[in-house]
Amino acid sequence: DQPVLEIRDLHVDYGFDDDPTHVLRGVDLTLHRGEVLGIAGESGCGKSTLAYAATRLLPPPGLITGGEVFLTDRDGTRRDILRLSDAELRSARWRDVAIVFQGAMNSLNPVYRVGRQIADAITAHRPGTRRKEAWDRAAELLELVGISADRVRDYPHQLSGGMRQRVMIAMALALEPQVLFMDEPTTALDVVMQRQILEQITELRERLGFSVVFITHDVSLLVEIADRIAIMYAGEIVEQASASDVYRRPRHPYAHGLLGSFPPLHGPRRELTGIPGSPPDLATLPPGCPFAQRCPHVMDVCRVERPVLAPTALGEPGRQVACHLHDQPGHLPVTLAG
Ligand code: SF4
Ligand code: MG
């Protein structure tokens, strides 16, 4: 089965001068149909940049300097969305890919009823839709995201923050996307609200048949909702595997540290260790592994040779890691083995 989205060797630079900062340094990601792919990493690792670049919504001074983003339609047509014309892009963006970002709820227009704003999204997506039909659909979409249909005539200020963020999700679903990017969509909300929204998204994805790229700094959320998890560090993916493999046996030392930084939602408590140090300055990245300065397992080779994302020497199905420890299984430190 053809993956719905394939990101290949994506590069993004920031800056107009001749000394730009490389914020995405060759990202490869595959999203299968119907799957929830989680992307986790500390702030500044390039997660949001990845979402905006892959949807071609990257604001200046961000610039895509290389790579491909293939999107496969439900009818099997495969296109590189980085190479669509502006006209093609306008229609494709609204037809296939939608994005809900952190704080999206603040972009609702305060002077219009939420039903009208969803109805406008519906008519933009399907011109010629009757007004009454669009409003009815808006009410249905509100129900889908857990808001009573009679709130369709409410103004944004009459809804709680959690409800407004759900309205934004309803608007994204109005576009009948194949791929829904969610960039920290629930970060501003309390834990109970986050949990409810996440459960709804996973349920809707099954009912409506879209795929999700879910971006967060909180890897413990992903363990709950994602099928697969990709861990980002310094503008690249350093590990990707099934959610349970990443959770139970993270292979990359950074993934290991990140999992140790959040309390697990279920199961035995782990000691929260955190990761000493801070991410490298991307403008002055030394050669070799970008995690070398913080890595408890650093070796000589790590400071000269940049590790590439590849299957591990253990040959675990579906797992890829960018770390020299995994070139030879004998090197695995006890904490990362098992
Ligand atoms: Fe640590 Fe070396 Fe692996 Fe980088 S390549 S994560 S420095 S062991
Ligand atoms: Mg971000």
pLDDT, residue 200, reads: 85
Pocket of ligand 1 contains residue 238 by CB under 6 Å: no
CA distance 38 to 46: 14
Tell me the percentage of the chain whose pLDDT exceeds 70: 94
Looking at every residue in the chain, the average pLDDT score rounds to: 89
Q: Which of ligand 1's atoms lies nearest the C-alpha of 298? A: 7
Q: Specify the higher pLDDT residue, 164 or 274.
A: 164
Q: What are the tens digits of pLDDT across the range 171-188?
A: 999 988 999 999 988 777
**191-198: long-range pairs with CB below 8 Å, 24+:** 193/161, 193/162, 194/221, 196/146, 196/162, 197/145, 197/146, 197/162, 197/165, 197/166, 197/169, 198/224, 198/225
Task: Give the pLDDT band of residue 263 (cuts 50, 70, 90).
Answer: low
Task: Please tell me if the CB atom of residue 230 comes closer than 6 angstroms to any atom of ligand 1.
Answer: no
| Ligand whose nearest atom lies closest to the CA of 187 | 2
Q: How far is CA 157 from CA 121, 150, 151, 269, in A?
A: 20, 15, 12, 39
Distance 76 CA to ligand 2 centre (A): 32
Band (268; pLDDT cuts 50, 70, 90): low
Cβ atoms of 181 and 98 within 8 Å: the answer is: yes
Q: Which of the residue ranges 12-16, 33-37, 195-199 would you say has the lowest mean pLDDT?
A: 195-199
Residue with the larger pLDDT of the pair 104 and 237: 237
The residue nearest atom 5 of ligand 1, judged by CA position, is 323
pLDDT tens readout for residues 17-50: 778 899 999 999 999 999 999 999 988 899 999 9
More confident: 17 or 77: 77
Task: Tell me the best of 293, 302, 336 to mutate to test the pocket of ligand 1, counting ligand atoms within 8 Å of each CB and taking the most.
Answer: 302
Ligand 1 contact, 323 CB (< 6 A): yes
Per-residue pLDDT at 59 exceeds 80: yes
pLDDT digits (tens, 9 = 90+) for 85-111: 888 877 665 568 888 888 777 889 999
Provide the pLDDT for residue 12.
97
Ligand nearest to the CA of 289: 1
Q: What token pair was written down for 196?
A: 């409810």
Evaluate: CB of 250 within 6 angstroms of ligand 1: no
Interface ipTM > 0.90 = yes
283 lines ligand 1 (CB under 6 A): no
